[in-house]
Amino acid sequence: MSLLDGLNNMQREAAERIDGPLLVLAGAGSGKTRVLTYRIAHMIEEGIKPWNILAITFTNKAAKEMAERVEALIGDSANDMWVRTFHSACVRILRRDIDKLGFDKSFNIIDADDQKSLIKECLKELNLDDKIFTPKGVMAEISSAKDSLKLPPEYEKGVAGDYKKEKIARIYEIYQEKLRVSNCLDFDDLILQTVRLFMINRDVLEYYQNKFRYILVDEYQDTNNAQNILIMLLAKNHRNLCVVGDDDQSIYKFRGANIENILNFEKMFPDAHVVRLEQNYRSTQNILDAANSVIKNNLGRKGKNLWTDAGEGEKIIVHREPNEQEEAAFIASEIRRLYRDGYKYSDIAVLYRNNSLTRSLETIFMRDSIPYELVAGRKFYDRMEIRDMVAYLRLAKNPDDDMSLKRIINTPGRKIGKTTVDTIGETAYREGTSIFKSLQFHKDEIKTNLKEFVLLMEEIIDKKNTLSVDEFVNYVYEKTGYREHLEKDEKAEDRQANVGELISGAKNFCDTVPDATFDDYMDNIALVSDLDSYDEDAEVKDKCTLMTMHSAKGLEFPVVFILGVDEGVFPSFMSIYDESELEEERRLCYVGITRARKQLCITGAFSRMVYGKTSPYQKSRFLEEIPESVYEYSEKTPFGKGSTSGGFDDDYGFVNFERKPKLEATTLLPKKDSKVNLTGNLTFKVGDRVHHKKFGAGLITAREDVGNDVRYEIAFDSVGTKNLLGLYAKLEKEE
């Protein structure tokens, strides 16, 4: 009996084809993880050495699941292969050879909050207004530059003549210098510096090209430019590259994902073999027909059609309410009905385009005692006490880490004020070294409290390799006085419990990773992704799951509600005139629909309150794209007209439903060829000062044509940066 006998024909074709470039277009719910694991097991069964295989995923959770599945099939030899995320693979490569780029191998990895703090420091040094140069916007621009493999000099050359970007180039330069002095990398650096390492050091590249003769990449549609170049460099010699993905589920453009990577794979490898996995093992045919019909309207796709042996299933419910409060109440009543019919709360997920849509929903759920888990809360490693503890650990690992030092030098309180910290920072900057090294150099000259801090950290650093990881974390907790510090906190019990969980996690890491070092543990916690944050205990807790459709990718639920499916909400207002953005929104809709296994309910509202103002909304164009044969439509109009359709709870007086045989295509905004005459000014230029009736005076920092309109980015003096459409904003030029 063959190892591959349990696969369907197309899955088996993908698993059996070992040599050469292979593109596996894996539709939602088509068993791609099964294909990947069986393909790896088959390769090893055919004599390929495990250490010659590199399997790349996007989340730690996916990497762990894949490794466990392969081990279950072939045993311990699976431990000799690399199954890693892009970032963890790059960290391992850089730990070995980053000194060739002038960094120390003990580098730390900073997160988004650290980046933001560092950018703020740069803005302060350059005396730039953070309302015009927002930290978030600057971070996005630097991330985009690194995705294009541009360091500050290359970036600066490409933005000559653009005032704002010339300033960002200077910020970028100072930011990188601060990272270098602190011996730190951000997440984008992990990919960028690995690619630089390969390009600058041919020997290092050839070592890994020969080591990884067979490469598999999961979720290939989510790769960015730098990640794709990294993979192409590694696969160049042997060309045994298998990429698995679904162009219809490419929804992370805002994170830099480039759908062209998967669409152009056959151009990069003209001899590539293509396998389409179209049989779905998750959803009913009605749900799949809805998804297929929506996504076929996209032009930028390879094309496939999902089908199932599971039967038609129940029809999709499409329902609209007068406003968002009644929409939430309708969803709550349906959930109570499903619960009475035998579903568990944990069988149910409510998905939405953005987190702002949950306010009404949470209010109703709390009122009606419907248990729920909101997948958007403060993550474990973002909590104050965890960030403090991790800062101590990072400083112990890399004493040059100025950001970690600044966070904990006066936590617990040591009577070291901000002025003192700024002064010692300036001294270190003049000396061209880190703050801690400067303090060590001047140890006999500095104040007693600073000297005591230096001695404390030196003692901690000496201990880091003499204790087990969990013992060391606990030692730091006690030695620094942080335990005692938390005892005085009004949330002492919760905060101490969280630190206890950190220590338990360290022990668990050591138990599951043989011979793990302190550096291994620190890399592990630095690489925890927000995509790994979904609570797998939700089923045990029996709570409904509330999450964005972006967060839901990769998950599935027996019952799914998608709320806010209105034009201007989903698709979003900003995407309506941009074809590529609209196609991304449609892919997001496809992802949302295909999370449902048995039942799907799509809801909308005739009006919603946004920024304190109630506005009308029309049905989303995506609803029109769903065939009428797979859904049942009902609505309660704002005017109370209609006839009862039945089938729904009437706890809130929902008696005015009206079934529609087909949805009308409508939109709030004028189409590109519209003759609608709106007052507005489309002639403003970057650098113009303008006035808005609500937001006041501001500076135009960017403009972009969108259809027959212009989108202005305006840095307002009082409310920060906003994006406004010229036809609607009614801007006036300041004289």
- Residues belonging to the active site: 32-33, 218-219, 249, 595
707 within 8 A of 616, measured Cβ to Cβ: no
Q: Can you tell me the distance from the alpha carbon of 467 to that of 471, in angstroms, rounded to the nearest whole number?
A: 6
Task: Tell me 30's DSSP state.
Answer: S
Backbone angles phi, psi at 626, to 5 degrees: -85, 130
Strands (E), 156-234: 184-185, 214-217
Which amino acid makes up residue 78? A
- List of long-range contacts for 649-653, beta carbons under 8 Å, 24+ apart: 649/333, 649/334, 649/336, 649/337, 651/333, 651/336, 652/326, 652/329, 652/330, 652/333
Tokens matching residue 667: 């939109």
Query: How big is the chain, counted in residues?
Result: 735
Q: What is the dihedral of CA 434, 437, 441, 445, to 10 degrees?
A: 80
Write down the H helix ranges in 75-186.
86-97, 112-126, 135-147, 152-157, 163-182
Beta bridge partners of 274: 23
The kind and range of the H/E element at 230 are helix 225-235
Any idea which residue has 């197309």 for tokens? 10
Backbone angles phi, psi at 705, to 5 degrees: -70, 130
Compute CA distances 449 → 226, 417, 483, whole Å. 46, 11, 20
Tokens matching residue 676: 């609608």
Q: How many CB atoms lie within 10 A of CB 585?
A: 23
Q: Can you tell me the distance from the alpha carbon of 567 to that of 620, in angstroms, rounded to the nearest whole number?
A: 4
Q: Can you tell me the distance from the alpha carbon of 82 to that of 145, in angstroms, rounded to the nearest whole number?
A: 29
Backbone angles phi, psi at 722, to 5 degrees: -140, 155
Task: Tell me 217's DSSP state.
Answer: E
Sequential DSSP letters for 511-552: HHSTT--HHHHHHHHHT--GGG---TTHHHHT-EEEEEHHHH
Task: Tell me 643's DSSP state.
Answer: -
Rg of the chain taking only CA atoms, in angstroms: 28
Tokens matching residue 560: 């799914």
- Sheet hosting strand 732-733, strand order edge to edge: 720-725, 709-716, 696-706, 689-692, 732-733
Tokens matching residue 225: 């430019």
Q: Can you tell me the distance from the alpha carbon of 204 to that of 340, in angstroms, rounded to the nearest whole number?
A: 62
Write down the H helix ranges in 573-713.
579-593, 621-624
Q: Can you tell me the distance from the alpha carbon of 723 to that of 692, in angstroms, rounded to the nearest whole number?
A: 12
Q: Can you tell me the distance from the alpha carbon of 194 to that of 87, in angstroms, rounded to the nearest whole number?
A: 10
Backbone angles phi, psi at 355, to 5 degrees: -65, -20
Q: How many CB atoms lie within 10 A of CB 591?
A: 23
Q: Can you tell me the distance from the alpha carbon of 101 to that of 180, in angstroms, rounded to the nearest whole number?
A: 11
499 within 8 A of 486, measured Cβ to Cβ: yes
Any idea which residue has 């730190």 for tokens? 184
Any idea which residue has 């709320």 for tokens? 563
**Angle ∠(248,252,257) on CA atoms, nearest 5:** 95
Among residues 194, 162, 160, 192, the alpha carbon closest in space to that of 176 is found at 192
